[in-house]
Each structure stands twice: as structure tokens, then as C-alpha cells.
Amino acid sequence: MHLLGPLAAACTSEGIRRDTGIVSWLHWPNLVTIDGRAVAKTSLSVSSPPESDGKAQIVFGISVNCFAEGPTPLQSGLPTTSILDVLGVEIDVDLLRDKTLHALSWYYAEWERGMHMKLVDRIQPTIAWLGHEVEVRTADAKFLKGRAIGLDNTGSLLLELRGTRGSKKTRTIPPEGVELVRAVK
């Protein structure tokens, strides 16, 4: 289930690219950025399976800042932007929704077939800070610094930590354990 959250953000990024041509990035686990500024935020909730059919209910929440005016629900810790700010024109939000849902249905079908590593391989290149030094603020308000070396097949971040005397240790951080990742400059 860890991988589903980042997949929602990846599909949102893909929907923005397909609809507008804007190069957007997955800011793992749940943000989409354009030029380092948050333009979209996603959420995921999973309910326990009802006794009758045994299937969990999954709800994806997707918020995209399409217009420069009004309050934005993207409380992310990053500067924000809108598609209008970047393009200079308003977009058809129905078309953006359709492009995002198309990507989501395609990615979800692969997830259901157990093609997790293929999905990870597809979304890793869309994360701009992979391979770089980052600071991770965890959901329990701790900070970790290290090099983001990739995602595992569950969608969890692999963070290489440097210990004393130059030793290296890899820590696996699931998406739901992360509040924000920032590149260290």
C-alpha cells in the first residue's frame, strides 16, 4: 500500500504534463512541483474491508492550484505556484482531471497486477532530488539528513545516512512517515 500515495502524486504530475506541456516533478511522497514550487498535493485514505467482499476502499484526494487567485490548500512547507502563474492562461480543469484520472487508472491497473518495481522505475526519474543530499522531516517531527538514493519496490525512500567515522547506513522511510523532503544546498 505504501506505493499508492506516491503513485497518486506521480499521476497528477503526469496529468499536468499531458494537459499543459509544463514539466512538473513528483516531490515524493505527495507533492507535485514546477520549478521547485508546489502546484499540487495528493492524499490517500484506505478503509478497512467490509466483511461482505473483503476489498479495501481506497480514496485518492488530489488538489491542483490551477488559478492564481484565492486560498490554496497546498500547505506543504514549499513555496507555491499555480498553473495560471506558469502558463499565463487559464486551463480547462475538466481536461486536466481527465488526463490525471487516465494516468491514475493505468498506474493502478499495473499496481493491481503486482508490477510495483516497474512503477517505481517509471516514477523515480520524475523526482528531482533523488541522488542528492536531502533533509527529511518525518511525521513525528524528527529531521534526518542524508543522500536520497532511490525508492524500494514498496515506494519507500532509501536514505543513505552518514555516521561517525564515515560509515554509511541506509534507512528505509515509508511515504506515510514523511512530512516533507527538501534538497540540501
pLDDT, position 47? 81
Domains of the chain: 4-126 (3.30.930.10), 133-183 (2.30.30.100)
pLDDT digits (tens, 9 = 90+) for 95-132: 999 999 999 999 989 988 999 999 999 999 999 899 99
CB atoms within 10 A of CB 52: 6
Q: What are phi and psi of 13, to 5 degrees?
A: -60, -45
pTM: 0.87
User: How large a percentage of the chain has pLDDT more than 90?
Assistant: 66
pLDDT digits (tens, 9 = 90+) for 134-177: 999 998 989 999 999 999 989 999 999 987 677 789 999 999 99
The mean pLDDT of 47-69, rounded to a whole number, is 79
Using CA atoms, how far residue 9 sits from 51, 52, 64, 163, 165, in Å, is 30, 31, 10, 32, 38
